Copies of this chain bind each other. A is one copy, B any other.
Amino acid sequence: MLQTFFMPENEQFQYLKAYYMHLLPSLTEENWKVTEQVLKVRTFKKGELIVKEGQVCNNVSFINKGLVKMYFMVNGKEKIIGFCNELNYICDYQSFLTRKPANSYVQALENTEVVETSFDDLQMIYEKVPEANKLGRKIAEGLFLEMCEANHSQANETIIQRYRKVISDHPWLMQRVPQYMIASYLGITPEALSRIKSRVHNKKKSLVVI
């Protein structure tokens, strides 16, 4: 009964609402209603681009279902900077926040359903719903912390350590994306990752033998 009361009108918004409530338990039903007004559901087929270099990124998109990759084009090659699956936000925040053309791409790796909020609507919410600023602050702080982690890992860990972390932190990644994309994400060539894997694997075998 209680749960029904908290369910958003549109069932497709339930995950996003739960996410907001988690970050901001004081969020009122009334304020949620204001927010709900501006949400849009959108779907992307596998392979479709959600963010494109050169275009201003106008939405933050919360993934209900699916998987995307974020990448830059560097000398004609794609350099993957991250993957994003269910219950996470897709956005080129650099473009979104600065209102400048994106220099990244986001592409659906699977058919993907998202809940969008546009930049203008978000600013409207910040004005109408003061506590949204607190939510916005917490989301920005969270993004910053994530970026710190990534940076630290990139700079101070060996590639083997980072490879192990990837497969232990996101075991689903290995099932859902080809290895050469993980190589790109780690910042090495597919050949190098293949060699590292065989090194790691052989070391494990010899440990068992000894």
Chain A residues at the B interface, C-beta cutoff of 8 Å: 72, 74, 79, 81, 93-94, 97-98, 126, 130-131, 133-134, 136-137, 140-141, 143-145, 147-148, 150-152, 154-156, 187
CB<8 Å pairs between A and B, sample of 18: A79-B155, A79-B156, A81-B151, A98-B145, A126-B134, A130-B130, A131-B133, A133-B134, A134-B137, A137-B137, A140-B141, A140-B143, A144-B144, A144-B147, A147-B151, A151-B151, A151-B154, A154-B155
Query: Considering the complex of A and B, which 10 residue pairs feature the smallest CB-CB distances, nearest first?
Result: A140-B140, A137-B137, A133-B133, A147-B147, A144-B144, A136-B137, A133-B134, A140-B141, A74-B156, A143-B144
Q: Which B residues touch A98, using CB under 8 A? A: 145
- Secondary structure of the A contact surface, majority rule: helix
**How many copies of the shown chain assemble into the complex?**
2
CA distance A167 to B128 in the complex (A): 44
Contact across chains for B134 and A140 when beta carbons are under 8 A apart? no
Contact across chains for A72 and B156 when beta carbons are under 8 A apart? yes
In this complex, the member of A98, A130, A133, A154 whose beta carbon has the largest number of chain B beta carbons within 10 angstroms is A133
Given contacts A97-B141, A147-B147, 10 further A-B contacts (CB under 8 A): A79-B155, A94-B148, A131-B133, A133-B134, A133-B136, A140-B141, A150-B151, A151-B151, A151-B154, A154-B154
A113 to chain B, nearest CB (A): 26
Q: Which B residues touch A130, using CB under 8 A? A: 130, 133
